[in-house]
Amino acid sequence: MLKIIVKEGENIDRALKRYKRKYRDVKILQQLRNRKQYDKPSVIRRAEVKKAAYKEQLFKED
């Protein structure tokens, strides 16, 4: 469970922004989506290689 301590005099919007950032960094939503269905390790590996090739292509064009 994520806990965000709101500091004295801190704006609630800022605290909410910190919570959202922490939630995204912990990758809870990504874990839930991955657990919905089983993927074979070979399929996971193939997706990782495809993603790496895409990222390399983006940096190569610059």
Confirm whether 1 is domain-assigned.
Answer: no
Total domains in the fold of the chain: 1
pLDDT at 43: 95
Tell me the Ramachandran region of residue 32: left when phi exceeds 0, alpha when psi lies from -120 to 50, beta otherwise. alpha
Q: Dihedral (C-alpha) 36, 39, 45, 47: value to the nearest 10 degrees?
A: -60
DSSP 7: P
Confirm whether 3 is domain-assigned.
Answer: no
The tens digit of pLDDT for each residue in 3-56 reads 889 989 999 999 999 999 999 999 988 899 989 999 999 999 999 999 999 999
Confirm whether 4 is domain-assigned.
Answer: no
Confirm whether 17 is domain-assigned.
Answer: yes
The overall pTM is greater than 0.85: no
